[in-house]
Structure 1
Amino acid sequence: MTLTSAGSYLFVIIYSCARRDHPLPGALRFGGLVLEFTLDTRRFEADLRRLEQRQMPQAIAEALTNAAKDVLEHVHGNMEVVFDRPVKFTKNAFMVWRAKPSNLVASVIERPSVGKNHYLKVQERGGPRPQTGFEKLLGSRLAYAGILRTVIPGDNAKLDEFGNWPYYGERNKALSVLQAQRDPLANETARSKKRAKGRASYFVPKHGLPPGIYRRKPRAARGAIEILAIFSDKVPVYQPRLGFFDGAQARFDEVIGPRLTQAIDKALATAR
């Protein structure tokens, strides 16, 4: 709904709602067999101008902001459909930029903290996925001679309830053992390695095995190993999936009317 088309809509609401308990002054005159009716609208027009100048910009800004929040909920609902158990980080990628009386525009935008290579961008437009921070870290820190483009969790990786290999726990231990932590002080030392004797160890094979991160079971016989992460030199290519714009206009058109009525009623109740 444009602001222009909203103008007549707002006037109808104001005219029907304003001064419900205070009728406009009128007059009835008798003359022969004729009834004449007049209405003094000066006070109403003054109240209307005052309402338009003081309350209406704030009411419209509030209605736009609440409608944008409704659209954001619609986007979150789409995420639940197209993604498998989207994590909080994914759903929090967008926010509402509030409308103001001086700027009657509300927006659903990416949070400032979202990077330019956030994975939702490629989920929206499709195409090759940029490397994640974890993939870049392994590519720069591991003693691995091959080309590392993508890291895929293996069947033996300990995944969280969302199906991801979380940075804490086992993945963090593997990075420490492999001397691949972002902070060198977090890497395993000779002393900590000695203390960890008998526990599971981690390694990247130089040859003979598919490239990846492996775990050797504690005190296991030679060859008792499990793959935790698979290295690939292929760049994953996505089809457009998110549908950020799908249904957004229809949802806005659906809620803006009730949101305007709600905001105007509030403005009328607080008008002085």
Structure 2
Amino acid sequence: MFKLEIGVDDGQLTKSAIEMQRRHIPFALVLTATRLAQRIKKGELAVMRKRLDRPTPTTLNSLFLKAATKAKPARVYFKDSWTSGIPADTYLQQAVFGGVRPHKRFEKSLIAQGIMKSGQYALPSKSFLNQYGNVSRGTMTKVLSGLGAAETTSGFKANATDSKRSMAKGNRRYFGGVVGDESGVWERMNTKWGAAVRPVFVFSDGAPAYRTIFPFFKIAENIARAHRTQEFNDALAQTLATARP
């Protein structure tokens, strides 16, 4: 989250300037902070579209802006909670700061069921990626169900069984294990040449590492620095032009 607090040094102001500050500058500062925040949000979105790999509409719509008040600074931030799914504030951490990513919820479920080792990470097969470069939530649920790793909450039943209804969904076609010399999650398939399998996730013994590609705070600071004076002058001029005598 990036906060914008704008202030002035009134140590050298004349009496008339002090009166102007008392009456008009506080509003001008609030207006300046809000307008800078608007610029920052627009700039951040432009960089996200350019540098992130096919960001989803949900990711882009996760960036929020709160206008400044006399008591609170303007804020530009990512929503840090959703009713379901992982918030952008969490999964964008590696893009913003770089470094090694932690285990995802899906991987934690695989580890809890003994399907994957605690030091491994699940890397998706390209054939299962959607237009945004992600494995869809629906596919993830089917895989976890087929592996018996979907039930993480008491009373919640989503694992595949041998019932006719469950078998009709086809989730039992997913399994974890070693095929050839690679361990991962696999899908059983019927082809015109007979039965076959293909990888859904391949397990890696090393954690994926990321470089910083979306320096959120640096972008915000650069925009604020470049436009602070202009926005303050414009805001003060507007405040004085519309002020009551």
TM-score by length of 2: 0.74
Superposed counterparts of 1:107-122, under 5 Å = 107-113=75-81, 118-122=90-94
**Paired residue type of 2:74:** A
User: Which residue among 19, 30, 33 is the counterpart of 1:61?
Assistant: 30
- Residue number in structure 2 paired with 1:84: 53
Asked if the contact 2:6/2:29 (under 8 Å) is kept, the reply is no
Superposed counterparts of 1:147-226, under 5 Å = 147=118, 149-157=120-128, 159-168=129-138, 170-181=139-150, 182-183=152-153, 184-191=156-163, 192-196=165-169, 201-205=173-177, 208=180, 210-218=182-190, 223-226=195-198
Superposed counterparts of 1:90-129, under 5 Å = 90-92=59-61, 94-103=63-72, 105-113=73-81, 118-129=90-101
Report deviation, 1:147.
Answer: 4.3
**Paired residue type of 1:227:** P
Deviations 1:170-190 (A, max 9, x none): 332222121111354112232
Distance 2:192 2:174 in 1: 13
Report deviation, 1:129.
Answer: 1.3
Asked if the contact 1:124/1:244 (under 8 Å) is kept, the reply is yes
Name the CA shift for 1:72/1:173 in 2 (closer, same or farther; >3 Å). Answer: same
**Paired residue type of 2:8:** T
- Report the 3-state secondary structure (helix = DSSP H, G, I; strand = E; otherwise coil) of the residue aligned with 1:264: helix
Name the CA shift for 1:213/1:254 in 2 (closer, same or farther; >3 Å). Answer: same
Asked if the contact 1:135/1:148 (under 8 Å) is kept, the reply is no
Report deviation, 1:132.
Answer: 1.4
Asked if the contact 1:96/1:109 (under 8 Å) is kept, the reply is yes
Report deviation, 1:88.
Answer: 3.7
Report deviation, 1:125.
Answer: 3.0
Asked if the contact 1:139/1:148 (under 8 Å) is kept, the reply is no
Report deviation, 1:89.
Answer: 4.5
Deviations 1:212-260 (A, max 9, x none): 1111124876541111111122111222332224443332233334433
Asked if the contact 1:94/1:109 (under 8 Å) is kept, the reply is yes
- Report the 3-state secondary structure (helix = DSSP H, G, I; strand = E; otherwise coil) of the residue aligned with 1:65: helix
- Residue number in structure 2 paired with 1:16: none
* Residues paired across the two proteins, number: 232
Pairwise CA RMSD of aligned residues? 3.7
State the percentage of identical aligned residues. Answer: 26
Looking at CA atoms only, which structure, 1 or 2, has the larger radius of gyration?
Answer: 1
Report deviation, 1:150.
Answer: 1.2
**Paired residue type of 1:138:** L
User: Which residue among 1, 7, 17 is the counterpart of 1:3?
Assistant: 7
Deviations 1:137-158 (A, max 9, x none): 22113x426445311111332x
Asked if the contact 2:173/2:187 (under 8 Å) is kept, the reply is yes
- Report the 3-state secondary structure (helix = DSSP H, G, I; strand = E; otherwise coil) of the residue aligned with 2:182: coil
User: Which residue among 132, 135, 160 is the counterpart of 2:104?
Assistant: 132
